[in-house]
Structure 1
Amino acid sequence: MPGPESARGASLLGNGMNHRGGRSIGIMYTVLVAENEPWVLRGIVEMVKAAGEEFEVVGACSNGEEAWTLIQEVWPMLLITDIMMPELDGLSLIRRIEEQRTPLVSVIVSGYDNFQYAQQAMVHGVSEYLLKPVEFDTLKQALQRAKEKIASLKELNAYLLKFQALLDNGWGLAPKDLMRKQDELLQSVLRLNRLNRNARAILLRLFEDKLKTLLNESGIAYSSSPPADRSDDGTIALHFQALLERWYLNQPGPAIASTPEAIERSCRYIQAHFKEEITLTEMAARTNFSVSHFSALFKKHAGQSLVGYVNRLRVDEAKKLLRSTSYSVGEIAEMTGFASTSYFTRVFKASIDLSPLEYKKRMNP
């Protein structure tokens, strides 16, 4: 497997604290946009950015299957999706989100003024149903209304991002440190029992589903057991330890002889085009695989998702620039392929527990 030295991957932006024009922005509302028509996709992304500094696009894609994959990797607070998309249409995507009880607010945009479509969307918990062409003021008002619903999801979202960061960066941790970090996060979730039992149950199920999906995609056998949230706290902790340990011990090394040529080519392409926009859909098309098959195959042989892999490459490149140049953090974020400083900062800090600025100061005393 080619070693990650410098690359840029999927067009994912940011979450967390942001600084624009010298002002600190507090709560960020992260948004994923899924739209089949490229020009409409670009237009919605730009309108979301213009709707307010608190809205941040963390991903943009052209089909429902990629949207579902990204939802489980960047955990947006808000989804804006078209109805008619390849591989997985918008309504099917919304139904899957509802079935999995994924904590996010959804908005549908559609070229069909069809009551049946709108009715189905609302039955599955869609917040808004907007008709194309989407006007800026209409979208801005919908985003503002969505903020009230998002407020109840912020705590869940924070836990999911922490768990995702743990899995994305597990390759760089010693086993005992990985287990300790998971247990610390798990214990904080278990303590929610006193305040919000429903939130606790949702998080435990999502954590468990995430680990089991990783095991299944890697072809790793594991013992099935009752849902984690139905056991006592000690049993739950042991259950998660066993799942994480199983996944970690079966991670591929940096080079595997059996790695498919298609994945080798994909990694080489990513490394050679790190300044360009690379999406999961594009990489799947290059290998003639479906989005879901490519995603699973990449995780199995690269040891992490495409998003995690390219973020790892970006951070490696950013470290070099932070150590050896006088560029600002914002400039380095742009140079390494991050479209926002805030997302760069979050990914970087999740990787090594230091912000880019703290890293720069420590490496250049």
Structure 2
Amino acid sequence: MYKVLIVDDEKNIRLGIQAMVKREFADVFEILVASDGQEAMEIIKQEPIDILITDIKMPRVDGITLIQEVQEMKVNISVIILSGHDDFEYAKAAIKSNVKDYLLKPVNRSELFQSINKVLEELGADYEKGLEQLDELRTSQLNLILLNQNIDEDEIQRICLKTNLPEYPDGYYVDILVSKSGMEPIESLHRIKYLLEKRYGQETKHHISFNDKYDNVVLITPDGSLFDYITEKLKDEKYFHLFQAVSEKQVELKKLKEGYNQASQAKKYQFLFPRCQLIQYENIKGKHFEREELPEDMIYKISNMLGTGRDKELKYSLLNIFDYEKISSLGIGYMEAIGELINKHIFDSFFNKLGEESIEIFKLYSKVGDMYNYKDFHDYYYAVEDLVMRLHEYVKQVKSVYSDQKYMGKAIKYIEENFHTDLNLAVVSNYISVNYSYFSHTFKEFTGSNFVDYVKKIRINEAKKLLKETDYKVFEIGEMVGYKNSKQFARVFRELEGISPKEFRSQN
């Protein structure tokens, strides 16, 4: 912790500056105060002071005399002068080698903090708050580089210099480290920083680490041997496991985004090789495929086989499409293209055909539609197979219901006989022993109306007949057709007929 001495004969100013410094630099400074130069000299003789903030005009020993005596003592104290407008030129002329800055009264908070920070930088201060502020600024600016699609290399260079990124005359690497143990991003970052400090000590400043917007740790380092070191150190860890994806060596800071993109591409290979702890871009950059190599015809055939009795052939075709040896040899781009074709020809196609009634089957699609929602190739394959077979069974059931209209005839008859009861879709689907979701879709196709609207029409048609042919009261007729609440009956009647039940009776 540093020591700062504040010297001013005006108590309010002295205490005000003390309060400002204490609030802004609570963990950085031990603060001492003095009412004039003589009292300050007594303190300086007893205490090792790092920063002296002193007024010019004071009784007994003024600020200029104090500064001269400090300089004669040959002690390493950084001085910041405070002065009013009247003696400002005098103070300016009196500034010597160890006077770092001078400020006009009344003291401006931001100018004071700027001066103190400037002194701390010159002192090589390594205090926690300063490091946190620098880390926050650097993380924010580096993420700006990594996420901005349109940023040019000159702007990248400017931001790197602004955030005090070290120069790398012999080149550097970008390493993306992905936690495989569920550890919080900030904990992973602290663990990496610890390993860096253990290996490099004071030279850690050449190895920049931060969390990107995807909660991974990004490491910029000139040391190509560091990746094996990290892997080795984590071998025996029980609760901290990492996957590393490393770029090629980059020569200039303006190539930082290119290095990050290379590491990001290498990171995707964790999907194909989940047991690997380290993948370098130079080992996967040559992988490519031709469009003709994609199994598009086979995927299209699978879409045609859905709903048929060819269950084994479906599974066998999927197994051929997900040929791991071929996929791993052609690269992650080939796997991504297969996923896109499966979405296009199977999932998207059938979802658009079947519509909202099939939502129960497709509630998993939001996850299966992106293979990176799964930890690896095998998990994704099993999820695709599961959803394809669910869809296959769904389509078979729909076809079965269509092929035997007696199910729908039985359902319609049941509705006509029981519309006055507490009727719903589940009751009817159970009665005819057909899956709820399948029945909902088929009923709409068969009648041209959804279940709720269909029952409303039957009930209101019966109510119209009773209103014309009987003397029952309106609320009694509502109950007779299935509405226990007279307001609900009136609302539904008006919704379908445009007038109230009473108005209908009076017109008929």
Question: TM-score, normalization: structure 1?
Answer: 0.33
Question: TM-score, normalization: structure 2?
Answer: 0.24
The structure that has the greater radius of gyration is: 2
